[in-house]
Structure 1
């Protein structure tokens, strides 16, 4: 009715929508030293810990850092973004030398970054990585 206060349901509904909009912005904002969602390459050096945690002939997923590192031979390392090139989901596991995207089933060769199974067709972007003092550091100047 005109002149009557808004119904409680309408007020609560508006508050819920406003809150959800704010959460959506926060959830989509991935700006950090790990780069933007559109560019998953780290923008600052990222310490990955002990180099020997990556098995020779295998790979290790650093899910929180959104990186995957392989070690083709002792002392040699290659790193790639662990963010799927199809929809941006982070790989959830590495089996041998293949990484799996949990969102749509894309699979990647984590030693080359190559997309092995779609829907992703683009390779994972390579990220500079180096060993320093028994530790791995990825990102710029690595």
Structure 2
């Protein structure tokens, strides 16, 4: 035998549903980015040691220098890095993980690295925070140029 549906039970059920749905949605992976494809943008994030020398040898290339626009950058989702070229021949890299809540940064334009989750903004020149809610800069990642490729130093 089922108890009759009262107003209290109906409202209680609706409240439970209203809390459960967003909670479950937050647990899912809504990433639809192909992690192997770099995302290029018009401006450059930069906060690591500049790579201006050309050497031979070293690790696997992160990105060809020709793919990183001057005053622009490339988000390498699979490496969780942002590689930038603030001035011609100077390459820098930062973690692409936003220091606010761990989202992958999404774009670089007009000298600003922007996180799409909560619109935190970082300087493309040094990774410092230029707009909240993030309060810590993007960590710099040392890189160098080897045979036309930006590689980890």
- TM-score for both structures, normalised by structure 2: 0.57
RMSD: 1.7
Change (3 A) 1:59 1:96: farther
* SS of residue in 2 equivalent to 1:126: coil
Tell me how many residue pairs correspond in the alignment.
Answer: 96
Which blocks of at least 5 consecutive residues in structure 1 are unaligned? 1-23, 25-44
Which blocks of at least 5 consecutive residues in structure 2 are unaligned? 1-26, 28-58
Contact 2:86 2:124 in 1 (8 A): no
Match of 1:73 among 50, 64, 87: 87
**Residue 90 of structure 1 pairs with residue 104 of structure 2:** yes
Separation of aligned partners in 1, 2:60 and 2:132: 29
Change (3 A) 1:96 1:60: farther
- TM-score for both structures, normalised by structure 1: 0.62
Q: Look at both structures and tell me which one has the larger radius of gyration over its CA atoms.
A: 2
Instruction: Tell which has more relative contact order, 1 or 2 (C-alpha 8 A, sep 6+).
Output: 2
